[in-house]
Amino acid sequence: MQNSNNTADIISTVEFNHTGELLATGDKGGRVVIFQREQESKNQIHRRGEYNVYSTFQSHEPEFDYLKSLEIEEKINKIRWLPQQNAAYFLLSTNDKTVKLWKVSERDKRPEGYNLKDEEGRLRDPATITTLRVPVLRPMDLMVEATPRRVFANAHTYHINSISVNSDYETYMSADDLRINLWNFEITNQSFNIVDIKPANMEELTEVITAAEFHPHHCNTFVYSSSKGTIRLCDMRASALCDRHTKFFEEPEDPSNRSFFSEIISSISDVKFSHSGRYIMTRDYLTVKVWDLNMENRPIETYQVHDYLRSKLCSLYENDCIFDKFECVWNGSDSVIMTGSYNNFFRMFDRNTKRDVTLEASRENSKPRAILKPRKVCVGGKRRKDEISVDSLDFSKKILHTAWHPSENIIAVAATNNLYIFQDKVN
Amino acid sequence: MTFQVAYNILLLQAILPHRFFSCVSMGIKTRVSLDSRLSPSYPEFFERIKPQSPKGSFVGYMLGKGGKRKFDEHEDGLEGKIMSPCDGPSKVSYTLQRQTIFNISLMKLYNHRPLTEPSLQKTVLINNMLRRIQEELKQEGSLRPVFTPSSQPTTEPSDSYREAPPAFSHLASPSAHPCDLGSTTPLEACLTPASLLEDDDDTFCTPQAMQPAAPTKLSPPALPPEKDSFSSALDEIEELCPTSTSAEAAAAATDSAKGTSTEASAQKLEGPQESRADDSKLMDSLPGNFEIMTSTGFLTDLTLDDILFADIDTSMYDFDPCTSTSGTASKMAPVSADDLLKTLAPYSSQPVAPSQPFKMDLTELDHIMEVLVGS
């Protein structure tokens, strides 16, 4: 039933909201699909709340840049939820150029009993009106509406790769390859530029911004990562333009691992603050690293995601897989980190026990209630029974986007155009 | 923590409204993505790539006949050309690997014509790769003794390999003037590549097996024998890839055309001459008005091309005749050393602003030809 050749269905971002009740996905076709967790009912005590489709809307449309004669993709690069402040839900969604604030609200009552028009909305002949009545609100089938409340456009010359809501809930930032802008939610025709790494001479450009995020508690602090494997922490109180960083995180290169592709595989594809705000996690092509904000010269933990690819870098460079941007996520308690890999594998690392597991998101292995079996990639010559050899990996099946529920052990994994939701085993 | 499947949610082409909610959908549109990366041919692509060398590395497929390869085709016939790279001299495999990567990078930048803007991050990373390779070639080019002492400063070669690619302005100007390569540090320039070759050879072959030994190989490289072995390595390269469209050959042509009349460079001339036909083939296939360019000329044009940095207005400057000699000179003219000096002197001190693409001026070319032929 599912048409796998339709590239518009490829999921490009996944995000839980702050309570975990809602799960939003964006796809290449510019659509946003929101799932809502069903309330647990007493009679089905063994079933934890399932996620069902709550709302679907077209967030972005493809555009055409007439000046450059290039299309602007409608693909949703990122979705970020705002904390809930009233009955409606708000989220930010962005494509390469434009950020939009969407309001998702429910309507379950409608007014009935108008005087001047009948139930279908047709105007009534005033001559036929003999009495006046007060319209009343009557319950109706629940309808979920999504309306764009703000459109933040024309502020980015380059492609937006990140958005991040500030902890003051009044501002947010959007980052493209060379600049980061600070917005106020209420103001759409102005934004402050807080980081600009564009060189005067474009030929001198050797580094781009790859991801950016605000600190979860300190509204003046944010970090951004670069294609050279560095992370900069900036304080907006220091100056209006945060071109000079407050902290600079970089690990010295390991000379034994040096190759032609050292720079490319060091490019950081995602950076995430821990929920505590004490650590940041970065994902480069082969590893996930956890950094302590207080130590800039090296990460405190490094986890190998798929080191067996190190010998395949040339072919991965040729088919562009080396440029894949994997994301990484923390669990609610910052004790486990998760990231994706190829062949629909994703990996989880327990920071306390130092144990890691490789799981697969595939239809065959994912019947409901089935327990995910750990997978293993074999590197050497002898392949054990359940192992997969490196050469059999399917590099077109990559898991770039994953999300972890903020408080429970529920994870959402996007595998091309399928979304898998896994939960911790119920005893 | 064991994870189990709660259920699957499969996003279908048309999301069916849930029975509880009626979605106020604005219509689900399907658009074809232009992302070639996700084309279904990739699984095929990887099936065809099988490690050939006994150590299971992918180096095998990278050694190919030097002809221009289509981007998405990997003839299995390539594997027949494999010379067991891990057993052979590490320098050769390193050079060939580097050459392959250089070609791949060039093709990436030029063959890809998306309808949407190419990713700047990818472009910058590929550019950095090209610059780094070019810097290495330039450093290796300084092996050959140059007749013009240069005042142009070069960064310390040993460092340039370890660190991130040097600033482009450093790269742009001296690369157009290989004669300016510091004759003061030719030997050091060739030393680091040797040690690096060992490392990268390990990296390319079997990282697991070689890693424990790798740190020991970073010892200070050997001295004088490098130069001779490098020349012989070049000969071996020529034997292996007589028709390679190597930018390295172009660079070698650049350097050799500068009037070094030693035996070493005379040997290298054979390579460039054979490859010139392929060079021009490769060049002709590139878009834009590249007529005769060096490898450095590729890079400057690459980075300056409007396609890549569309918001920069680059104006055309005069083409530096120094680089024109590389493609056209077909024979060594030792007698022209002084003449060449005079021609080059005014240009060598002039810093080439990085924003100037090198455009061939035919009249200047004629002038240079006259000088070289020794009219």
Q: How many domains does chain A have?
A: 1
**Shortest alpha-carbon distance between residue B196 and chain A (Å):** 9
Question: β-strands A418-424, B3-10: how paired?
Answer: antiparallel
Is B321 strand, coil or helix? helix
Q: What is the pLDDT of residues A48-75, one digit of tens each?
A: 678 999 999 999 999 998 988 889 999 9
Minimal Cβ distance to A371: which of B2, B121, B311 = B2
Which of these ranges, B80-94, B136-150, B361-375, has the smallest mean pLDDT?
B80-94
Interface test with A, best of B46, B70, B301 (most A CBs within 10 A): B46
The helix-helix angle for B247-256 and B295-304 (nearest 10°) equals: 120
Q: Is residue A1 part of a domain?
A: no
Q: Strands, DSSP E only, in A153-235?
A: 162-165, 171-175, 179-184, 192-196, 209-214, 221-226, 231-235
Cα(A129)–Cα(A145) distance, integer angstroms:
33
Nearest residue on chain B to A316, alpha-carbon basis: B46
Contact B354 A421 (CB under 8 A): no
Who's near A419: CB < 8 A, 6+ residues apart? A11, A14, A25, A412, A413, B8, B9, B10, B11
Residue A333 lies in a domain: yes
Rounded-to-integer distance, Cα A8 and Cα B34, Å: 10
Contacts of B69 in chain A (CB under 8 A): none
Query: Residue B6 and residue A323: Cβ atoms within 8 Å?
Result: no
pLDDT tens, A329-369? 999 999 999 999 999 999 999 999 999 999 999 888 777 77
Q: Under an 8 A CB cutoff, do A142 and B21 touch?
A: yes
Does the pLDDT at position B225 exceed 70? no
Distance CA B60, CA B50 (A): 9
More confident residue, A174 or B269: A174
Token pair for residue B87? 């057993």
Q: A389 to chain B: which residues are within 8 Å by CB?
A: none
B200·A310 Cβ contact <8 A: no
Average pLDDT of B210-217?
39
Q: What type of residue sits at position B304?
A: L
ipTM of the complex: 0.92
Q: Report CB contact under 8 Å: B9, A396.
A: no
The most confident of A20-34, A238-252, B231-245, B304-318, by mean pLDDT: A20-34
Say which residues have a Cβ less than 8 Å from residue B297's Cβ, sequence separation at least 6.
B176, B290, B323, B358
Tell me the pLDDT band of A297, cut-offs 50, 70 and 90.
Answer: very high
Q: Does B4 contact A423 at a Cβ distance shorter than 8 Å?
A: yes
Interchain contact B14–A (C-beta under 8 A)? no
What is the domain-level CATH number for residue A282? Answer: 2.130.10.10
Q: Does A26 reside within a domain? A: no
Chain A CB contacts of B8 under 8 Å are 363, 366, 368, 418-421
Is A136 among the domain residues?
no
Instruction: Read off the pLDDT of residues B160-185 as tens digits, 9 standing for 90 and up.
Output: 333 334 334 333 333 334 333 333 33
Over the stretch B283-308, which tens digit does the pLDDT of each residue have?
Answer: 333 333 333 333 333 444 444 444 44
Residue A218 lies in a domain: yes
Whether A261 is covered by a domain: the verdict is: yes
**Residue A33 within any structural domain of the chain:** no
pLDDT in the model for residue A44:
60
> Which residues in chain A are closer than 8 Å to B312, comparing Cβ atoms?
202
Please name the member of A57, A143, A255 whose beta carbon is closest to the beta carbon of B26: A57
State the nearest Cα–Cα gap between B131 and chain A, in angstroms.
Answer: 10
B98 and A260 within 8 Å at the Cβ level: the answer is yes
pLDDT top residue among B198 and B240? B240
Closest Cα in chain B, distance from residue A233 (Å): 20
Q: Which residues pair with A419 in a beta bridge?
A: A414, B9
Q: Chain B contacts of A361, Cβ < 8 Å?
A: none
pLDDT at residue B289, as a whole number: 31
What confidence tier does A46 reach under pLDDT thresholds 50, 70, 90?
A: low
pTM: 0.64
Distance CA A64, CA A29 (A): 15
More confident residue, B335 or B12: B335
Question: B345 CA to chain A: closest CA distance, Å?
Answer: 26
Top pLDDT among A385 and B291 is at A385
Domain that holds residue A392: 62-100+151-421
Residue A317 domain-assigned? yes
Reported as a single tens digit per residue, the pLDDT across A170-228 is 999 999 999 999 999 999 999 999 999 999 999 899 999 999 999 999 999 999 999 99
Position with higher pLDDT, A85 vs B50: A85
Q: Could you tell me the sign of the dihedral formed by the alpha carbons of B117, A314, A311, A359, in that order? A: positive
Interface check B70 vs A, CB under 8 A? no
A280 Cβ contact partners less than 8 Å away, ≥ 6 residues apart: A223, A231, A249, A271, A272, A273, A274, A290, A291, A293
Closest in A256, A368, A419 to B5, CB measured: A368
**Any chain A CB within 8 A of the CB of B355?**
yes
Inspect the interface and report whether the beta carbons of A366 and B8 lie closer than 8 Å: yes
The answer, for B315 touching chain A at a CB cutoff of 8 Å, is: no
| Gap from A132 CA to chain B (nearest CA, Å) | 32
Cα–Cα distance, B319 to A107 (Å, whole number)? 69
Name which of B121, B198, B355 to mutate to probe chain A: the one with the most chain A Cβ atoms within 10 A of its Cβ. B121
